[in-house]
Chains A and B, each alone.
Chain A
Amino acid sequence: MQTSDLRAMLLLVQWDLMRMWRRRIFVLMRITWFAVQVSIFGLALTAMVRFRGIVSAQLDYYHFYLLGVYTSMLFSISVSNAYEVAEEFEEGIIEYHLTLPIKRRVLSLGRAVGGGLAAFIFTLPMYAIVLMLLGGGPPEAIAVSLAASAVFSVGIVGLVLSLVLSVKSGDATDILFGIIDAVIVRLSTIFYPAVVLSRVAPYYYAALVNPLSHLVDLARTFFFFEEYRVLAIASPVTMAAYLLGLAAGLVSLAIYIVERKLEGGGWR
């Protein structure tokens, strides 16, 4: 008696979604925090910031900010999977998963997709708030931004799995992902357009390769194409290809680590 690869993967996805459901109070708190962030802080910030010269008057900073703060939230929630995986390792859940009668490839892929989808679903209410504050958007913009967000989230969880299962330390996980969460968001076009960053060379080049920049600028390009295209870091095709390639690469890395390197124990 053995389950099929597809069913095993779906069950692993279900595992992560069940985890998220158990954290529903935490989810609700984050959504509330997000609503306050975009309604009070976002509006206050917009009152102080204006685009000058390079874009039309129809694009204001508030719209720019909304998609940025959603992307940063999606990134943070995806990264927070690291703490979940670390806790699972400490409680022996990862060892238990390693003994299941499924392929390691399926295990790693299922956890990456499950963790990514859980993070993505977690942020859907926030996306809805953003959409409402944007006054809606073209269907293709909504479809592309949602699809790109899901792909991005799966890729980030792939990275998280690779790093957490390699460092095998709760303390190292806390430090590493605390830094990643804080630094990566800043070194991107989440809150500042690339043209502004170009005045500070290291920031600019970091933003160019940063997947957050690609995700947020892809979404902005589809939502405010005419106004935003001069600010985006690359063409939509390039950004989409970058996100897909990165997600595939990071998930492949997670598969490699789980299949070839990962052993139980050694955490504490």
Chain B
Amino acid sequence: MGVAVKIAGFTKKFGNVVAVNNLNLEIYEGEMFGLLGPNGSGKSTTLLTIATVYKPTSGDIYVFGHSVTKEDDIVRGYVGIAFQEPKAMWVDTPYELLLWHAKIVGYSSSGAKQVVREVMEKLELWEHRNKQFYQLSGGTRKKLEIAKVLIQRPKLAIFDEPTAQVDVLTKHALWDVVRAMRDEGSTIIVATNDMFEAERICERIAIIYKGELRALGTVKELKDRVPGGDVVEVSFEGSKERVEKVLSKLDGMGKLILQNDRIVAYLNRGEERAAEIVSTLLEAGVRVKRIMVQEPTLDDVFFYFTGARLGES
């Protein structure tokens, strides 16, 4: 798999404020990549630098091998971005905006009309086409921003908090749209502070906090890196003391909590260890009624790597 975006020692300062500090990471072609972090963590700064809106203070970013500092004209040919805040003047109408956008990204006049109609219908924007921007709801404005990327069909599609302020049904619909773009060949970067969104649509995630990369990997890898992060809960019939004695002899069991006919173990790779726990208990003559494995939430992962809860930070 080729590298779509290579971020090499990227630092961005605004005056004395360091927005992003020495960021290094690679995003692969065709993947759905998530930048997870609270507001002000440096996600948008990174994305806007990839889109050539900002210039790096030091370091560089390469998009399909082209430097954003030296070859920004070429880079823009690859990138399409849906901004966090929809960009339009209050008097603009969605249809006019999107038609102009379609033309400037390369469609012929007739092709532009066709693709704008298709995309507006797909996103249920068609009925709003002649309204003025100020008359649109927050969710409709977000769709308008996403429509620009759908029309452009860039090799690298960037979505900055695509479903913030959007209702649940629309969220799912927009996620489907983003996934479909990836299936059609685009590399996707999504910036979000929504754990559920990151977990649902991203294959790999970079946790960014206070302008620095704190963790990088698939959701599963990140969860597995939280020590004692998995929770294995076993319901049984038999002596509690016996169960505790047997299980505590197993390697890497971590913390054990006994509650009546249940025992809760905090450990790594819980789904792999569950079978070992069951067989050990059976060998010890304990009847296992039920076993349940729970992964840590992504919020737990974020807490582990940053020391802050996403909602609090």
Cβ 8 A contact of A264, one of B53, B77, B96: B53
Q: Is A229 an interface residue (CB 8 A)?
A: no
Q: B79 to chain A: which residues have CB within 8 Å?
A: 99, 101
Stretch of A35-43, A53-61, A87-95 that contacts chain B: A87-95
Between A88, A92, A95, A101, the greatest number of chain B beta carbons within 10 A of the residue's beta carbon is seen for: A101
Interface size on B, residues (CB 8 A): 31
Stretch of B103-111, B205-213, B230-238 that contacts chain A: B103-111
What secondary structure prevails in chain A residues at the interface with B? helix
Q: Which of B276-302 contact A (CB under 8 A)?
A: none
Residue of chain B at shortest CB distance from A263: B54
Q: Could you tell me the distance in whole angstroms from the C-beta of A96 to the nearest C-beta in chain B? A: 4
B91–A98 CB distance below 8 A:
no
B85–A92 CB distance below 8 A:
yes
Contact A101 B106, CB 8 Å, known A14-B100, A92-B87: yes
Q: Is B120 an interface residue (CB 8 A)?
A: no
Residue of chain A at shortest CB distance from B111: A1
Q: A92 to chain B: which residues have CB within 8 Å?
A: 83, 85, 87
Contact A3 B106, CB 8 Å, known A22-B91, A93-B87: yes
Residue of chain B at shortest CB distance from A266: B14
Q: Is A15 an interface residue (CB 8 A)?
A: yes
B48–A95 CB distance below 8 A:
yes
A87–B89 CB distance below 8 A:
yes
Between B85, B106, B152, the greatest number of chain A beta carbons within 10 A of the residue's beta carbon is seen for: B106
Q: A249 to chain B: which residues have CB within 8 Å?
A: none
A99–B104 CB distance below 8 A:
no
CA–CA, A102 and B100, complex, Å: 14
Q: Could you tell me the distance in whole angstroms from the C-beta of A88 to the nearest C-beta in chain B? A: 7
Contact A263 B53, CB 8 Å, known A22-B91, A99-B79: yes
Contact A104 B73, CB 8 Å, known A2-B106, A88-B89, A99-B52: yes
A residues with a Cβ closer than 8 A to B are 1-3, 7-8, 11-12, 14-15, 18-19, 22, 87-88, 91-93, 95-96, 98-104, 263-266
Top 5 nearest A-B pairs by Cβ distance? Answer: A1-B106, A264-B53, A96-B87, A92-B87, A99-B51
